[in-house]
Amino acid sequence: MAPRSLATATISFGLVSIPVRLYSATQPSAGLSFNLLHAKCGSRVRQQYVCPREGAVVGREEMVKGYEFARDQYVTFTPDEIEALEEVSSHTIEIAEFVPASEIDPVYFDKPYYLGPDRGGAKAYRLLAEAMRRSGKAALARYAARGKGYLVLVRPQGERLVMQQLLYADEVRPFPDVELERAEVKEQEVQLALRLVEQTATDTFHPESFHDEVRGRTLALIERKVQGQEIRLAPPEEPRAQVIDLVDALKASLAAATPRPEPGRHGAGREPERRPARRAPRHPSPAARAGDGSKK
């Protein structure tokens, strides 16, 4: 089933206008939620707004919006005034500048959207996507919608364009505010850590290989409850022995880690190469490998 577009917009690229449609790039969360019920009768309870001064329930028709400019002091606004404060939706994605895509720290990434060409915009859409793909650049743009102005990043993904909503600088906490204790790292430790990284590394990202195991277990337990079975807490895991020496911990990790083969790298059913349990694996030289081949 084809996705339904959320809105239409126009990419402003110099004097070129590209009509596009916006699509949500993510699906609604599949997270689990529990409702609050009255323990006595099992009915679902309702949320109400109560005035703390009068102790009375306040209906929505009796509410107004206010802004707290000082402690417990508010200035109120009518619906028309609220509308006047909101950013007028321009429906234009106005490109301000092009930057290398690698220069945008992912910490600024917010919600992503897919962009598809609207009627009459297919050629210009493909032209912009190809130009950015070849240049390795992405576009920083301004976009106003839903009463707010957004900073967005338009980047190519193959022949298509993705619009990534970005956070503004004042919406991101400065990283240096996080305390970082000084510690000396030895070269031996770095080399062991690099070997551990390489041993479990892959060249490509396969998101389909990862699943929400906690959600799966929870759903299974809920199904048991629906069937009238009792749910019992799983016994807590035995605490792992704490390894004080960092080098020993890295060596133990190397011995326990199993390389993750990429799809197609190993033949079907082929087991990963066994490694010695108590010593680091040795990498034979090209000459040794050639010698092994001549003996077969």
111-167 pLDDT, tens digit each: 999 999 999 999 999 999 999 999 999 999 999 887 788 999 999 998 999 999 999
- Measured N-to-C along each axis, helices 246-256 and 187-199 cross at an angle, to the nearest 10 degrees, of 20
CATH of the domain spanning 88-171: 2.40.290.10
CB-hemisphere CA count at 13 Å for 134? 5
% residues pLDDT > 90 (the chain):
41
C-alpha distances in Å from residue 60, one per residue of 26, 46, 47, 64: 32, 14, 12, 8
239 pLDDT more than 70: no
Contact 245, 187 (CB under 8 A): no
Is the whole-model pTM more than 0.75? no
194 pLDDT more than 50: yes
Position 293 scores a pLDDT of: 42
